Amino acid sequence: MTPERYRRIRQMLALRQPDLAVCLEKVHKPHNLAAIMRNCDAVGAHNLHVIWNTKHQIRSGTSVGSQNWLKLHTHADTSGAIDSFNSQKMQILVTHLSDKSVDFRDIDYCRPTVILFGQEKYGATEQALAAAHQHIVIPMQGMVQSLNVSVAGALVLYEAQRQRQQAGLYDRPRLDEKECQRILFEGGYPRLKTLCRIKGLEYPQIDEEGQISAPQSWWQRMREYQGDKSEKVKVI
């Protein structure tokens, strides 16, 4: 990794918002998932949660590599995701039209927040709606009272970004160093990341020049060949 790339990644990580998250409840269209990943990356929302009965493929072309810079959390069901959010004391917002819905711009997004979007056709489940601290809506004046989930996500996330910028939440790094080191290694050394996973090795530290700082024993283990074709990655 060049020093220039290291500085670019560090600059991005310094703007990440670890307490602003998105949750997709059974959103099943791969292009929507990929587009929302791009939305999250664009505004610095670091954590993306997905609730899947079965895992869906991420379309790398649509996501344009944004999945490499986010923290993806998967949940088998809605209750597990909700428990995770409550344990972190996050306000849970669900996009849904109900008697208690408010304009999405009337919410305080400077608080630890997760924004939950339901499945494309049926919306959020009753379980998610009951767990929400607030239902939010995007006002519309047209005949078709709905937006694509990725478009709705972009609107809400950019309102959250606007509020957080005004509050100065982008003015100092907020992501812990352990997570920064993970992303630096995975983003800066993707081939070695693959080898680490194959060999069961912990990631090394990345120094201030973007170089790997690891003991000789780590490099020795990386050079060992285990006869697996998937492991044929050149390590100099």
CATH number of the domain residue 134 falls in:
3.40.1280.10
For 45-98, the pLDDT digits (tens) are 999 999 976 555 555 544 446 778 899 999 999 999 999 999 999 999 999 888
Tell me the two tokens of residue 143: 């005949």
Q: What range does the domain containing 222 cover?
A: 177-231
Question: Out of 14-28, 137-151, 169-183, which region has the weakest mean confidence (pLDDT)?
Answer: 137-151
* Domain end residue (candidates: 145, 166, 187): 166
Any binding-site annotation on 138?
yes
In a domain? residue 171: no
- 192 with 100, same domain: the answer is no
In a domain? residue 109: yes
Is the pLDDT at 226 greater than 80, yes or no? no
Q: How many domains does the chain have?
A: 2
Any binding-site annotation on 195?
no
In a domain? residue 138: yes
b/e per residue 58-92 (b: at least 16 CB within 10 A): bbeebbeebbebbbeeebeebeebbebbeeeebbb
Mean pLDDT over the full length of the chain:
88
Any binding-site annotation on 107?
no
In a domain? residue 154: yes
- 157 with 191, same domain: the answer is no
* Domain end residue (candidates: 111, 140, 166): 166
In a domain? residue 236: no
* Domain end residue (candidates: 115, 140, 166): 166
- 135 with 224, same domain: the answer is no
Is the pLDDT at 228 greater than 80, yes or no? no
In a domain? residue 10: no
The whole-number pLDDT of residue 58 equals 58
For 2-52, the pLDDT digits (tens) are 899 999 999 999 999 999 999 999 887 888 888 999 999 999 999 999 997
The whole-number pLDDT of residue 218 equals 94
